[in-house]
Structure formats: C-alpha cells, structure tokens
Structure 1
Amino acid sequence: MNTYGQDLEKHKWTNRILIVKTLDVQSKKYKEQVKEFTNSTEELIDRKLILYKIVNNDFTLTNYTNSSLNSSGKVSGKLAENILDAKENFEIILIGLDGGIKIQQTKILTKEHLFNTIDAMPMRKNEMEN
C-alpha cells in the first residue's frame, strides 16, 4: 500500500510513534538504531509503539500489532516542516499518545532508555496498573 503523506493525528490516543530518520540508508547510526529494536516486538506492542523509518523523502510504517496497517510512501511536507530537522543526517523522535514530542535526539536511542521513558509516563503507568 502506498500513501503520500502521513497524518500523525490518526495515531493520537491509539499509538506512540517512533520516528527514525536518516538522509543516508547506509548510515552506521541508522543501521544501529534500527537493529536496536530488532527482537523487541513484544515490548513495542506492549507500549503501543509504531515505527516510521524515514530515508530522505520516503517512509515505511511498521505497525507491530496489525501488519495490514503497514504502509510506505513519500514524507508529507507537514511532517518534514513541523517535526523533522532537515539539517540532521540522523534523528530519532518519540511522540506520545497525546501527540507531544517526548524525545528528539541525534544520537542512538537504546531500547532501555526508550522503554524507561515510556514507562515513566502517567498514561503508561495507568496502562500497567489496569
């Protein structure tokens, strides 16, 4: 399925969004970052995470809960202008259920740091209690 543009609003209150962006698919940081989340599917599902991998102007969306929702296409101008830093070769961004940016950095994000950050969020604490 090809889509042209992403509406991150459709994920609000349903999924946390992890964006891994690079300008170079051969980038060591990008490859290491993607590898960091390999074999963590259960933890990603438990935390309601979906993954957007962005290389230049192209994206692939991985929905770990429902693979029929996986898609790919071109990055929308709105996403590029409002969230991504065009000057950075590599960045990773975590967007919470409320649509707010929780992490935005240019260094590799370990899964431990990611999971600890999410687990400290009030909504996640609620999820774990229930």
Structure 2
Amino acid sequence: MNKSLLLTFLILAICISTMSMSAQNLENHKWNHRILIIKTVADHSERFEDQLTEFKDAQEDLKDRRLVLYAIRQNDFSFTDYTNSSKNYTGKLVEKGVKSMLDQNEAFEIILIGLDGGIKLRKNYIVSREDLFSIIDAMPMRRN
C-alpha cells in the first residue's frame, strides 16, 4: 500500500469517527434542534418498529418542528436530521453523548429533548405523533 493511499485512508477514518462522536454530542443540537430518541435493547422489538412507523409519513411535520431522530437498537444507531437529510448517517453509540441519556433498565424508551436541552418527555410506551406534536406545539419556543 503506498503512503498517499494509507494517509488518505487514515484521514478518512479520523473524519468519520469524529463526525460520529460530534453528532452524538447533544450540546451540538442545543437551540438548533429538538431531539427525539427512540431506543430498544432487543434485536427485534415490535414497539420500536411501531414507534418508527408512527413518524414515517410525518417528515414535513418533523422538519417544521426542527426535530432530529436517534433510532437506537442496542449499540447501533441511525441519525436522521429532518431539516437537512445530507447529515443522516448510522454508527455505534459512544459513552459520552446520547448513550448517557438512556435508562439502561428500560427495554424500550422514547425521549424528547427540547431546544433548551431539557428532557420534555420520557416514556416506555409508544407515543402517537399527535401527542408528540401537541407537546412540542405547547412549548414556548414553538409558540414564538
């Protein structure tokens, strides 16, 4: 392997790992996005799939409410930015970041974090899109 190819590969690996850790840093979203976290510890979870399906046809509503989504299955996650799809990606959870917000004793969780970084909703059952949107629409920053 020649040195320039090795160097290119190394730089690419560093960029990808930095992007993954940086996007999991919830502080990066503060005042820019509301964060929706949907988590399961199971390989297959009907609640997890049903919760994702609940928001499947609501992309415009999610974008309008400035939401980003972390869909977490065990230690793997997918990140969806409804305001900018070019930022979407998948990866592994890191200790600092989203993982620190999760309750390890819960098999399924849905968490909503507001623009101010505070937890606005934390449930271990499926939340309808109507209920989620009404919570967001009642927030002071949303009303403004």
Instruction: Tell me which of the two structures has the higher relative contact order, counting C-alpha pairs closer than 8 angstroms and 6 or more residues apart.
Output: 1
C-alpha separation between the residues in 1 aligned to 2:43 and 2:75?
Answer: 12
Q: Which TM-score applies when normalising by structure 2?
A: 0.82
How many positions carry a matched residue from both structures? 125
Which protein shows a greater Rg?
Answer: 2
2:131 aligned partner, one-letter code: H
Q: Which runs of 5+ in 2 are unaligned?
A: 1-15
The aligned runs of 1:60-79 (5 Å cut-off) are 60-78=78-96, 79=98
1:99 aligned partner, one-letter code: G
Q: Residue 28 of structure 2 corresponds to which residue in structure 1?
A: 10
Name the SS for the 1:103 alignment partner: strand
In the alignment, does 2:138 pair up with 1:117? Answer: no
C-alpha separation between the residues in 1 aligned to 2:20 and 2:133?
Answer: 30
Post-superposition shift, 1:74? 1.3
* Percent of residue pairs bearing the same amino acid type: 52
Name the SS for the 1:65 alignment partner: coil
Q: Which TM-score applies when normalising by structure 1?
A: 0.91
Post-superposition shift, 1:35? 0.3
Higher strand share: 1
Post-superposition shift, 1:80? 2.1
2:93 aligned partner, one-letter code: V
What does the per-residue CA deviation read over 1:33-56, in whole Å, with 9 as the maximum and x for residues that have no partner?
Answer: 000001001110110011100011
Post-superposition shift, 1:72? 1.6
Q: Which runs of 5+ in 1 are unaligned?
A: none
Q: Residue 99 of structure 2 corresponds to which residue in structure 1?
A: 80
1:121 aligned partner, one-letter code: M
Question: Closer, same or farther in 2 for the Cα pair 1:64/1:25, shift >3 Å?
Answer: farther
1:74 aligned partner, one-letter code: K
What does the per-residue CA deviation read over 1:73-115, in whole Å, with 9 as the maximum and x for residues that have no partner?
Answer: 111212323x101111100000000011000110101101100
In the alignment, does 2:81 pair up with 1:34? Answer: no
Higher helix share: 2
C-alpha separation between the residues in 2 aligned to 1:51 and 1:41?
Answer: 11
Q: Alignment RMSD, CA only?
A: 1.3
25-34 or 14-23: which moved more? 25-34
C-alpha separation between the residues in 1 aligned to 2:123 and 2:88?
Answer: 25
C-alpha separation between the residues in 2 aligned to 1:92 and 1:61?
Answer: 15
